Structure 1
Amino acid sequence: MNPIWFVRMARWARNPPSTARIRLVFGIIAVLLMIWGIEKIGWWPDWAKATRARP
């Protein structure tokens, strides 16, 4: 493990992120999981799907 990570962990322990920042991160993760789930179910519209360009 890189020693820089220990410095980051110590900084986080001394000054943890705010509640608003934690909610923001979990909100973004929830939106991404919803989009992934909608795509897996098959409800994602065809116009929003990416197509590969042919060489």
Structure 2
Amino acid sequence: MNYRWLLRAKRWAQNPPSGGQVKFVLAILAACAALYLVDLVWGWPEWLTPDRPGRGPR
């Protein structure tokens, strides 16, 4: 583990995030999980699939 990460963890332990920040991150994770579950159940819609693949990276 990098020394910088240990310092960051120490700072986080001394000053934990507020309840609002924790709720915000959990809401984002819940939204991502909901989108993933919708994709598993109904799949990717045809109208979002491009007609032909774009150019690749140069």
Structure 1 pair 3–41 and aligned structure 2 pair: CA distance change class (3 A): same
SS in 2 for 1:35: helix
State the TM-score, normalizing by the size of structure 2: 0.77
Query: Which of 1 and 2 has greater Rg?
Result: 2
The percentage of aligned residue pairs carrying the same residue is 33
SS in 2 for 1:53: coil
Greater relative CO, 1 or 2 (CA 8 Å, sep 6+): 1
Deviating beyond 4 angstroms after TM superposition, the runs of 4 or more aligned structure 1 residues are none
State the TM-score, normalizing by the size of structure 1: 0.81
Aligned residue pair count: 54
